[in-house]
Structure 1
C-alpha cells in the first residue's frame, strides 16, 4: 500500500517529525519499529521520538479495572498531539478507547502480531500448561477478561491482580513465590524478544483476546493531511478490517477494561468472521456468538471522496469503503445480537461487582 502514502516532498516541509510514545521499554520498542517502517518509506524524513509517562504508567498499586479512567495510557500523549508538541503518536490499539477526542483519528493500524494470550510460568514450575497445575495455584493477571474466561475454563486455579509493565510483572513472578504463572499478551513478549518465556499460548477456545490486541495504532490530528497520508502507508488492510469489527462490537456494548468483553476475528476467502463474548466476573454467566460478512477484496486500493470518513476512530486511506462499512456493521450486529440475549444485564452486574470490590 505504499502508493497511497504521502510524497517525500510533502513530508519534507517539516524539519522534523515528532513521534509521541509512552516511556516503557515495550512502548519504545513498538514506536521504534513504526519509525523504522516510516523511515524506509520516506528516507529523507527526519524523526524525533518524544517519550512521556501516562496516568496508567504512574498508578501501579491499583487494578486497571478499578481506576475508572478510559484513557489511562493515552491522555497525556493526546494532550501533546493537541498542542502540536508531537505530530503522531504510537499506541497499542487495545489501549485506545473506541471513541477518540474530537480532532483526532487513527491514521494507520499496522500488521497485527499474534493477538493471543500467553502463559509465563514461574522458573521453578515444571508443569507447562494451566490445566496441569495443582489445585489452588495462583495465576496473576490484571485483566478481568482473562480472569473471567480462565476461571470458567480452569476452576481449580486462583486468580489475583498483578500490575506493572512487562518487566515489572515478570520480576514479580520470578522473585516471589506468590504466583505459579502470569498471563500476558503474546505480542508484547515477542516484541521484547522474550519468546523463550512463553510456556503456553492460549487458544480462542481457552481465552479469547482483547479488542485490538496485538495491533499497533498510529494516532494523528485528523486535519493534518500530510501526516495522515504519510502514516497511511503503514496500513494493513486485513488487520484494520478485523480491528474495526472488534472496536464496533466493543463500542455498541459500551465495554472497556472494567467489564469482561472478548473477541476473536479471522479473514478467510473474503469473509470476515467475528466471535464476541461477554462474561460475568467469575465466568459462570456468559454469552458468546459468531457472525460473518463479505468484505469483497480488502487488498485492492480504492481511493475516493469518502476516504476521510472514520470508522470507530480509524481513517483507513486506500481500503475499500464497502469493506470498512461491512466490518463496522458486523461488529455492531454481533453486539446487538448479544444485547438481545441479555448481554447488558451481565455487563451491568459485572461492572457493579467490580466497583464494589
Structure 2
C-alpha cells in the first residue's frame, strides 16, 4: 500500500471517552500501517453542548464534517449512531467490541443487593431504568446526563448512592474501582451496539476504505448488524426502552431482544424473545426478531405509551 501524502484526518468528539475511543482507532491503524500519518480533528457536537432532544445528537456534526470533506473518517460509539443510513456515508469498520454489560457504581461500599430501600440510583436511559426497576422496585431512580466523568463526579458529590453506566466506558477511561459491579446480560440487556466503536467514511472513498478495512472485526460486525436491524424494525431510538444483544460463536448468531415498559415488569408490559441462525444472515435475523415482537404487540404498546 502506497504512502499517504497528507495525514488521514480522524474526526472525533471532544469528550474524554470519545478521545479514548479515537486513540484506540489510531493505535490500531499505526499497528498495521506504521508509516501512515494521522491527524486527530476534534469536532464540537450538539450533544456536547447539551442538546439531547434529537436522535444522533452526538454524531450529526461529525457526519456533516465528513460530508464536507473536513475530515476523512469519523469515530463513533455505535450505540449513538442512528440506524437510518445517511446518504453519502457508510460504516467502513466496526472494531472488536469491549465489554457490553451495564455496571453499577456505588459509594459507601454498597452493592446492588445491599443498597437500602429508597436509595437514589442515577441512570440516563429509559431502557436501563425500566430493567433496573423490574429487579428492584424499592429503589429511587433519578435522571442522570453527561459524559462518564460528569456522571462519576455527581456520584462522588453525593447526589446519588449509585449510578449505572456502560462497562465499556469505565474500561476505556481506566475508571474501574472497588465500587464497580457489572450486571449480567440476563439481568440488564444492553443497548444495541453497546461497547462497539464504528468508523464511518464517505461512500465510495476507496483510499480511506483500504486503510480502515483491516480494523473491522467480523464477529462484532455481524452482532451489531443484527442488533441494529432489530432496533430499526421497531422504529426505535436511544430514548425508547428497547434493548438487544447478539453473540456470534463460530458461524452461528444468537440475538436476544427486549421492549419493556418504563415502570418495568411489575406492570406486565415486557416483550422479550430470542432468535438464532447463520451469522451471515445477521440483518435478516434482527429484522425477523423485531417483526416477531411487533406481532406480539410491542409496537402497539410503544405507540400507546408514546
Q: TM-score scaled to structure 2, two decimals?
A: 0.96
Q: Distance in 2 between matches of 1:99 and 1:228?
A: 21
The Cα shift of 1:274 comes to: 0.3
Displacement of 1:348: 1.7
CA drift of 1:257 comes to 1.7
Give CA-to-partner distance per residue, 1:284-329, whole Å, 9 cap, x none.
311000110023xxxxxxxxxxxxxxxxxxxxxxxxxxx1xx0000
Give the Cα separation in 1 of the matches to 2:38 and 2:5. 10
Instruction: Give the alignment of 1:9-158 within 5 angstroms.
Output: 9=2, 12-59=3-50, 64=52, 67=53, 69-122=54-107, 125-128=108-111, 130-158=112-140
Q: Per-residue deviation at 1:197?
A: 5.1
Paired with 2:5 and 2:56, the residues of 1 have a C-alpha distance of 29
Matched, 1:286 2:286: no
CA distance in 1, matches of 2:139, 2:113: 9
Match of 2:188 in 1: 207
Q: Would the aligned equivalents of 1:108 and 1:219 in 2 still touch at CA under 8 Å? A: yes
Q: Cα RMSD between the aligned structures?
A: 1.2
Query: Secondary structure of the equivalent of 1:23?
Result: coil
For residues 221 and 128 of structure 2, the distance between their equivalents in structure 1, rounded to whole angstroms, comes to: 23
**CA distance in 1 between partners of 2:240 and 2:297 (Å):** 15
Tell me, in whole angstroms, the C-alpha distance in 2 between the residues paired with 1:138 and 1:148.
15
| CA separation of 1:91 and 1:171: change in aligned 2, threshold 3 A | same
1:56 shift after superposition: 1.1
Equivalent residues of 1:87, 1:220 under 8 A apart: yes
Deviation at 1:271, TM superposition (A): 1.5
Whole-angstrom distance in 2 between the partners of 1:212 and 1:72: 16
Equivalent pair of 2:4/2:37 in contact (CA under 8 Å): no
- 2:104 alignment partner, SS class: strand
Deviations 1:72-126 (A, max 9, x none): 100111111011000001111001011121000010000000000000002xx22
| Runs of at least 5 residues in structure 2 that lack an aligned partner in the other structure | none
Instruction: Provide the secondary structure at the position in 2 that maps to 1:57.
Output: coil
Q: Output one character per residue of 1:117-166: Cα deviation in whole Å (capped at 9) or x when no partner.
A: 000002xx2222x2321111110001111001111111111111111111
- Helix, strand or coil for the counterpart of 2:177? helix
Number of corresponding residues: 303
Q: Supply the distance in 2 between the matched residues of 1:153 and 1:101 (Cα, whole angstroms).
A: 38
Task: Find the partner of 2:283 among 328, 337, 355.
Answer: 328
Asked if the contact 1:105–1:219 (Cα under 8 Å) also holds between the matched residues in 2, the reply is yes
Q: Is the 8 A contact 1:17 1:47 kept in 2?
A: yes
- Aligned pair 1:169/2:151, yes or no? yes
Q: Residue 58 of structure 1 aligns to a residue in which SS?
A: coil
1:273–1:290 CA contact under 8 A, matched in 2? yes
Gaps of 5+ in 1: 1-6, 296-322, 353-357
- 2:221 aligned residue: 240
Q: Separation in 1 of the partners of 2:175 and 2:293?
A: 37
Displacement after TM superposition at 1:269 (Å): 4.1
The ranges of structure 1 where at least 4 consecutive aligned residues each deviate by more than 3 angstroms after the TM superposition are none
State the alpha-carbon separation in 2 of the partners of residues 252 and 174 from structure 1: 39
